[in-house]
Amino acid sequence: MKQPNEDLAENKVLILYLLNKLSDGIKSDNLYKIVSSTNNINYFYYQELITDLINTNLIGSFTKDEDTFIKITSEGENALSLTKSLLPGILKLKADNVFKAEVSTIAEESSIVTEYIPRDENNYTVKCKIVEKNDVIFEVSAFAGSRDRAKQISDNWKNNATRIYPQIIDLLLNGD
């Protein structure tokens, strides 16, 4: 039977193992989806692991376009090379399979982004973006006179960005 410390170490190594596969880093919530699908852990325990890994400088966090990403550090890579053997082969295999499936889903989800920011009680600014490999390749801001309109614009962008974006680019290029 495993001791709690063994589980703790195994889960930290799992996080390092997964982060080591991502050169650009990943949003913490997206990493949680992968980790929890691989090794059934709850969000609070996951947050504790992340905080501990950051405090020991094995992973770092950075902000890009108002989102926080986490990434393995060179110290984390060294620690992983020394501790990788703690991960059972079956867990590595499961992590690899979940990683492949989740990363393609995350890539699709993160490519179309919206946020609405309240300016005051009745006025909102809606930002609609297209993101590829953590770089914003298209962004437009629009004023919305109510929260409902802001949500409507946001939902419409999420559902129709692949149709709207080419139309906007065409208008910008051709003006017709």
Domains and CATH numbers, the chain: 4-109 (1.10.10.10), 111-174 (no CATH)
Number of other CB atoms surrounding residue 149 within 10 Å: 17
Tokens for 113, please give them: 């982004």
CB 131 within 8 A of CB 26: no
Q: What is the pLDDT along the chain (176 residues), one digit of tens a residue?
A: 444 566 888 999 999 999 998 877 888 888 898 898 888 888 899 999 999 999 999 999 887 766 778 999 999 999 999 998 888 888 889 988 888 887 777 666 658 888 888 888 788 899 998 877 667 888 999 999 888 898 899 889 888 888 888 888 888 888 76
Query: Among 155, 130, 158, which Cα is nearest to 144's?
Result: 155
| Dist. CA 14–CA 34, nearest whole Å | 10
Q: pLDDT at position 17, please? A: 94
Tokens for 116, please give them: 């609405």
Query: Among 88, 100, 17, which Cα is nearest to 58's?
Result: 17
Q: pLDDT at position 1, please? A: 46
